[in-house]
Amino acid sequence: METIDDALFLPHSQLQSFIDLLWRKSYEVIGPHVSQNTIEYLPLHQVDELPFAYRDKQEPGRYHLVKTSHERYFAWANGAQALKPMTFKASQTLWQAHKNANQELEFSTPSSPLLNTAVIGVRACDLAALAIQDQHFLQGDYVDPFYQSQRQHLFLVAVNCSHPASTCFCASTGDGPHVEKNADIVLTELDDGFVVEITSQTAKDIMSELLLEPAQAQHWQQKSQQLQQACQAQTRSISKKAHVQISNKNKSQVWETLGRQCLACGNCTAVCPTCFCHQQQTEADLSNTLISQLRLWDSCFNADHSYFHGTVVRAETKFRYRQWLTHKFSTWVEQFARSGCVGCGRCISWCPVGIDVTAVIADLIKEACDESL
């Protein structure tokens, strides 16, 4: 990560002052809370709202939080959502239509003033996913103005992962567990505080007010040891060449098996930080005069997603699963010059029947290998 200043040390005792400072600088501060048996990003005022001493236990089809005796705020990996709902909202009014006094049709785009938002606690995988969504919504032929303004208002305080979940495989996708891009500040939590790396001028100006001491050699040493351990703790992985290896697997038997397991619930696409599918819906107000065109998250696991000419192209679940997987892991590379997976493992934990995408890809690759013998 390119830093623009020497790293500082933020003792745990000063975390509250850091949060207070961000509010004083007119940021709405968002941070992780324990909520609904997971970790959710919500407005953060007090350090004791943070998931202090919590660890997340994740396995295929399982997510739960446990309280431990360790004394850290960020010794967990991730919850169901992080940044995606802040930039690409689950529901967004795109425009409105009404008829004026002369019964003429008029269109307008509603404007809502946005607050600067500081998000504390985002992970390497979240930031890698944000870079992909930036590519999708901001760098094509058409810029999405809603994503753009929400994105421009973000100030990102990232945290390097020290305790990946068993479902994490960001080391194999090259997206984590260290933060490499897109953050303003990167924190590494140690037993008594944080190493603070500063990577934007805005962050430098803000942090100067806290009058922190520079990080010491022993902090650096602990930091690098901890990061190494976080990499080594990851047991799942995905082949770097998966996009090529599975590119001829459209007729695989693997889809038949998955078609029987998958419930087509769409959980995986809802928690995926890179999935961008959405639908538009027309909604009237009570008097049926102001009509809003809404954009809502959609999923290629829904039947409507492929409806046309009175038929559903992907009526069978096996086709929907194949559409999702071949897009995310193979054709995505043609569109974005990288895979659509950042290794966060959310689709594994939040799948109600515990389908493990890393195992599915391994099966596809094995089948391709066997066929080439």
Partner 1 sequence: MNPYEPQVVDVIQNIEETPTIYTLRLRFRDKARQQAYRFAPGQFNMLYLYGVGEIPISIVSDPADEFVIDHTIRSVGRVTKAMSKLKAGDQIGLRGPFGRGWPLQHALGKDVILVTGGLGCAPVVSVIRYVIRRRDLFGRLVIMQGVKHADDLIWRDQYEQWETLHDTQVILAASEQPSAQWPWHSGHVTDLMHTAVFNPNNAIAMMCGPEAMMNAAIDPLLREGLNEHDLWLSMERNMHCAIGLCGHCQYGANFICKQGPVFPFAEIKTLFGEKGF
Ligand X SMILES: Cc1cc2nc3c(=O)[nH]c(=O)nc-3n(C[C@H](O)[C@H](O)[C@H](O)COP(=O)(O)OP(=O)(O)OC[C@H]3O[C@@H](n4cnc5c(N)ncnc54)[C@H](O)[C@@H]3O)c2cc1C
Q: Which tokens go with 315?
A: 């009526």
116-122/154-159 β-pairing = parallel
- Interacting positions 229-288 with ligand X (CB under 6 A): none
By the rule CB under 8 A, 145 interacts with partner 1: yes
Closest CA to 194 of 60, 369, 8, 6: 8
**Which of 51, 60, 79, 164 is in the footprint of ligand SF4 by CB under 6 A?**
164
Give the per-residue contact string, 259-298, with partner 1 (x = CB under 8 A; - = no).
-----------------xxxxx-x-x---x--x-x-x--x
Number of residues counted as binding partner 1 (CB under 8 A): 51
What secondary structure letter does DSSP report for 96? Answer: E
**Tokens 């407005």 found at:** 43
Q: How far apart are alpha carbons 140 and 138 in whole angstroms? A: 6
Torsion of CA 68, 73, 79, 81, to 10 degrees: 170
Peptide bond into 51 cis (omega under 30): no
Beta strand segments in the chain, E: 8-11, 27-35, 38-43, 54-59, 62-67, 91-99, 105-108, 116-122, 154-159, 185-189, 193-198, 213-214, 278-284, 291-297, 307-308, 311-312
By the rule CB under 6 A, 309 interacts with ligand X: yes
Residues paired with 32 in a beta bridge: 41
By the rule CB under 6 A, 125 interacts with ligand SF4: yes
Q: Which stretch binds partner 1 (CB under 8 A): 24-32, 112-120, 140-148, 232-240?
A: 140-148
Q: Which stretch binds partner 1 (CB under 8 A): 28-36, 76-84, 100-108, 260-268?
A: 100-108
Chain position whose Cβ is nearest to ligand X: 308
**Which of 335, 354, 366, 371 is in the footprint of partner 1 by CB under 8 A?**
335
Per partner kind, with CB cut-offs from 5 to 8 A, the member of ligand X, ligand SF4, partner 1, none near residue 138 is none
Q: How far apart are alpha carbons 213 and 7 in whole angstroms? A: 9
Nearest distance, CB of residue 86 and partner 1, angstroms: 18
By the rule CB under 6 A, 296 interacts with ligand X: no
- Interacting positions 308-327 with ligand SF4 (CB under 6 A): none
Torsion of CA 278, 31, 153, 273, to 10 degrees: -30
Please say which residue, 200 or 331, places its beta carbon nearer to partner 1. 331
Contacting residues toward ligand SF4, per CB under 6 A: 77-78, 123-125, 161, 164-165, 168, 170, 176-177, 343-345
Residues of the shown chain interacting with ligand X in the complex, contacts defined by CB under 6 A: 307-309
Contacts with partner 1, residue ranges (CB under 8 A): 94-95, 97, 99, 104-109, 136-137, 140-145, 250, 276-280, 282, 284, 288, 291, 293, 295, 298, 300, 304-310, 313-314, 316, 318-319, 322-323, 327, 331-332, 334-335
